[in-house]
Structure 1
Amino acid sequence: MTEAHTLATRYIRSWNETDSLRRLALLEEIYTEHARYTDPMITSTGWEAINATISAVQKMFPGHVFGLLGEVDAHHDMMRFRWQLSEPGANEPLVIGFDVAVLEDGRISHVCGFLDKVPVAA
């Protein structure tokens, strides 16, 4: 397993961690202190703000689980990977996304997320 794949796996694990304090500890290991997370709906800067963002997503999709889709691609100080958000046991993921992360000394300094599949509002 490459370092990038290991980091992406830990990143996904942080999105699945439901305990805020354990998640914050993971975020402090994975991200630089003033890291940014940006997707079409939000921009968060710093460990506390990213933690709050993940908590909000978990409240929007209770019981759903994030997972990596395919391989993690990396070069220089960047990596990219696809992910999915699914309800356990579901045949199709509810959300599919694509993230590009900029790395600094083995940790994430910026994530730019894109959403490829999103739920249709009823």
Structure 2
Amino acid sequence: MTATRQLIEKYLQGWNETDPLRRRTLIEDVYAEHAAYVDPMVEARGWEAIDATIAAVQNMFPGHLFRLAGEVDAHHDIARFHWHLAEPGAADPLVIGFDVVVLDYGRIRQVHGFLDKVPMAA
């Protein structure tokens, strides 16, 4: 397993971590201090904002888990990968996404997120 894949798996682990202290430790391990996360629904800069974003997503989708969906494709300081968000044991993911990350000395400096499948509003 490559170091980049390990970092991406730890990144997703942070999105799944519901304990605030453990989640914050993962965030500080994975992201550069002033990292930026952007997707069509949010823009977050820095550890505090990224932590708040993850907590909000967990609140919106309680019990759901993120998982890597395929391989991590990487070169130089850039990686891309697909992910799924689903309830454990679900046949189909509720949300499907694609992230591109820019790395900085083994940590994530920027995340550019894309949403391929999102649930319909009730």
TM-score, scaled to structure 1: 0.98
CA contact (8 A) 1:15 1:54 kept: yes
Deviation digits for residues 49-89 of structure 1, max 9, x if unmatched? 10000000000000001000000000000000000000112
* Distance in structure 2 (CA, Å) of the matches to 1:91 and 1:73: 25
1:43 paired residue number: 43
Equivalences for residues 1-80 of structure 1 within 5 A? 1-80=1-80
Could you say what the CA RMSD is over the residues aligned between the two structures, in angstroms?
0.6
Q: Secondary structure at the match of 1:100?
A: strand
What displacement does 1:7 show?
0.6
What displacement does 1:101 show?
0.2
Length, aligned pairs only: 122
Q: Secondary structure at the match of 1:62?
A: coil
What displacement does 1:17 show?
0.2
Percent identity of equivalent pairs: 65
The answer as to 2:71 corresponding to 1:81 is no
What displacement does 1:20 show?
1.1
Which runs of structure 1 show a deviation greater than 4 angstroms over 4 or more consecutive aligned residues? none
